[in-house]
Amino acid sequence: MRASTDLDTLSDFFDRYGVALTTGDVPAIAGCYALPGLVVADTYSFSFSTMAAVALSFVGAAPDYRERELVAAHALIEEVEPVSALLTMVAVRWEFLDSQGRAVPGERYRYLLRGTEDGPAICTVVRTG
């Protein structure tokens, strides 16, 4: 098992994650995370050690996407940096489409991914802009 730096593998992973986010599929979102996990932003940080805790942390995201009428998310991978045999840091800029088909700019994040038997899994998320 190794960390993935393959753009097709990473794109597939973030495509699945983006679909889960915009459809409010909380179990699928939770399935994209390794445990324990960490989310870091300028004004807060939180960690989780169970899939239930991951799911709870994203319950509020689905109504936000619906309120903003976001129906699709696309991750633009800006940088891939191998960190170790099992860890990869990936810089992503998210783009969204609203229900009218208009592009909606998103935020930038850095994801520390761990290579697992099932593919990449998010260990740490850092909001960067």
pLDDT digits (tens, 9 = 90+) for 21-59: 888 888 999 999 999 999 998 998 989 999 888 888 777
User: What is the reported pLDDT for 1?
Assistant: 61
Q: How confident is the model at residue 99 (pLDDT cuts 50, 70, 90)?
A: confident
Residue 15 pLDDT > 70, yes or no?
yes
User: What is the reported pLDDT for 54?
Assistant: 85
Name the residue type at position 111.
Y
SS3 of residue 18 by DSSP: helix
Eight-state DSSP code of residue 6: -
Nearest to 111 by CA among 60, 85, 84, 77: 77
Nearest to 73 by CA among 57, 82, 61, 56: 61
